[in-house]
C-alpha cells in the first residue's frame, strides 16, 4: 500500500505540470483527500485539524476511534496478504541443514545447534566450526537418506486364452502394437 502511495505522490507534480497547474496545489489535494468515508485525510490525522483545500469535502462528524479503524483496515490487508502463508517446520538440535554462505555465494552444510532468542531464528554450526545465526527462511533442510527397500519378486502373469496373440497373416502389415492392418476393399467395376 505504501509503495502505491509513494508512486501516486511522485506522479502528481508531473501530471500538474502537464496540465499547466500548480504542482504544490496537486500535492496539497493529495494530502487533504480522506482515506475513506470514515477515516480522515493523512494531514488531518497528523495535525489534528482540518486543512484548507480547494477540494470539495462533505463536512461530517469524525469518529472518535480513528486509530481503531486504521488498525482494522490494516488487519484486513494483513489477512489477505497472509492467506496463503504457512509456517516452516521447526528444526531440531542436531538436524542437518544447508545455509547460504554469503561470501562464496553458495549453500554450505551446517548442523542446527538450537533455537535463537529472536523469533524463527536458529543457531547453526558449519563444518568449519563457524557459529551462525540465521532466520528459518534462509535455512534449507537436508533430506534424510531413504533406506532402499528390496524389490518384491516379479510375478509372471498368465495370459488369458482370448488375449493371446494370433499368428500374423502372410504379407499383412502390422502396427507397433501388433494389430493387423487390413487394406480397404474397393469396388472394382
Residue 58 has pLDDT above 90, yes or no: no
Domain boundaries along the sequence of the chain: 2-69, 96-141
Among residues 66, 1, 55, 49, which one has the least CA distance to residue 27? 55
Q: What is the CATH number of domain 96-141?
A: 2.30.30
Q: Is a pLDDT exceeding 70 seen at residue 62? A: no
Nearest to 4 by CA among 12, 13, 47: 12
85-141 pLDDT, tens digit per residue, is 888 999 999 999 999 888 888 899 999 999 999 989 999 999 999 999 999 999 998
Please tell me the pTM assigned to this model.
0.43
User: Can you give the pLDDT at residue 158?
Assistant: 66
Amino acid at each position: 500500500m505504501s509503495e502505491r502511495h509513494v508512486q501516486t505522490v511522485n506522479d502528481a507534480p508531473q501530471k500538474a505540470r502537464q496540465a499547466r497547474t500548480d504542482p504544490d496545489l496537486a500535492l496539497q489535494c493529495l494530502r487533504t483527500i480522506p482515506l475513506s468515508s470514515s477515516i480522515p485525510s493523512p494531514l488531518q490525522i497528523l495535525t489534528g485539524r482540518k486543512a484548507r483545500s480547494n477540494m470539495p469535502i462533505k463536512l461530517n462528524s469524525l469518529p472518535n476511534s480513528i486509530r481503531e479503524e486504521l488498525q482494522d483496515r490494516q488487519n484486513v490487508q494483513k489477512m489477505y496478504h497472509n492467506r496463503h502463508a504457512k509456517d516452516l517446520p521447526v528444526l531440531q538440535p542436531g538436524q542437518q541443514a544447508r545455509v547460504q554462505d554469503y561470501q562464496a555465494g553458495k549453500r554450505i552444510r551446517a548442523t542446527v545447534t538450537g533455537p535463537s532468542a529472536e523469533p524463527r531464528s536458529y543457531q547453526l554450526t558449519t563444518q568449519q566450526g563457524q557459529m551462525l545465526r540465521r532466520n528459518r527462511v534462509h535455512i534449507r533442510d537436508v533430506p534424510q537418506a531413504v533406506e532402499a527397500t528390496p524389490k518384491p519378486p516379479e510375478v509372471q502373469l498368465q495370459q488369458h486364452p482370448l488375449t493371446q496373440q494370433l499368428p500374423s497373416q502372410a504379407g499383412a502389415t502390422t502396427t507397433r502394437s501388433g494389430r493387423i492392418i487390413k487394406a480397404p476393399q474397393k469396388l472394382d467395376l
